[in-house]
Amino acid sequence: MPATVPCSPSRELELAILTARKPQPTPALDKLAGSECSRLLTALLASHPDLRGEAEHLALALLADSDADEVAESIEWELRAADLDHLASRAGRVRGRGYVHESEAAAEILEELLQPALDDLARRASLGLEDAAGRIGLGLLSGLSRCRDGVEMGTVLAYAGPDTIDELVRSVQRVMATANVRLPSDPT
What digits encode the pLDDT tens for the residues 25-71? 888 888 889 899 899 889 999 999 999 999 899 889 889 899 999 99
Measured CA distances, 19 to 13, 14, 143, 167 (Å):
10, 9, 36, 46
Q: Contact, 120 vs 181, CB < 8 A?
A: no
Please measure the distance between the N-terminal and C-terminal CA atoms of the chain and give it in whole angstroms. Answer: 32
What pLDDT digit, counting tens, does each position of 65-106 carry? Answer: 999 999 999 999 999 999 888 888 887 776 777 887 788 889
DSSP letter, residue 51 = G
DSSP letter, residue 4 = P
pTM of the model: 0.77
Domain layout of the chain by residue ranges: 9-63, 67-178
